[in-house]
Amino acid sequence: MYDSVECFWVDPTGKGIRTFRRYSRDEDLDCPDKPGEYSFHSASVEIGDDFDMIWVDESDGSRFVASLDLEEFGDDPRWPTHCSCGYEFRVDDEWQVNQEPVYEAADGRRAWTSPAHHRKPTPGAMFDTFWRPQLRKADGLAISVVCPNGAVWCIDDQATGGGYWTREGTAPCLTVSPSIVAGDYHGHLQNGVLTAG
């Protein structure tokens, strides 16, 4: 059971967090700290949260986070060397420099809108999924919100069972129907409040 959460609107600040990530795709090297079907060795190190975000804009109006050139960071001593289980990364294991946009509410609160970089998304954070222009409604927005369990729900996307949600009001004070199922959360969004589920 989750508590009710009042929604609040957040916008990207133009700044982003960057992390160095190492991981192994070797199917014979499962990580004992992360058992399961998709077990693999992985480690990330945050290198700062005040970088200018770098985006790629497409001709159809969509936008996505740019991949950064690894050569620019190759000699940096902050690259992780080991997985949490003790596995030492090999030179031929994967290298990534990741970016994650920083979001902020009008009152200055920071919010996280994805589970990247070991942060849980901020429940109640509502934002424009601007990189998916095909989902925009009449108000020009494609709205997503973080549910009380941390799952990100795109209100304007198609439901897994088919059909779409309807939304009324002005963000963040929306009423949406029918109900929401996101992971282990089931509830409603009414007058800008995600009900307990």
Domain ranges of the chain: 5-194
Sign of CA dihedral 138, 161, 173, 101: negative
Contact present, 31 and 41 (Cβ < 8 Å)? yes
**C-alpha neighbours within 13 Å on the C-beta side of residue 161:** 6
Q: What is the pLDDT of residue 62?
A: 78
Binning pLDDT at 50, 70 and 90, where does residue 118 land?
Answer: low
Q: What is the pLDDT of residue 39?
A: 87
Write out pLDDT tens, residues 146-184.
999 999 999 999 988 888 999 999 999 999 999 998 989
- Other Cβ atoms closer than 10 A to 57: 11
Cut 0.85: pTM above it: no
Query: What span, in angstroms and rounded, lies between the C-alpha atoms of 143 and 14?
Result: 19
Contact present, 117 and 126 (Cβ < 8 Å)? no
How large is the average pLDDT for residues 110-126? 84
How many helices (H) does the chain have, and how many strands (E)? 0, 14
Query: What span, in angstroms and rounded, lies between the C-alpha atoms of 2 and 6?
Result: 13
Strand partners of residue 164 = 158
How large is the average pLDDT for residues 81-93? 95
Residue 141 CA to its chain's centroid (Å): 18
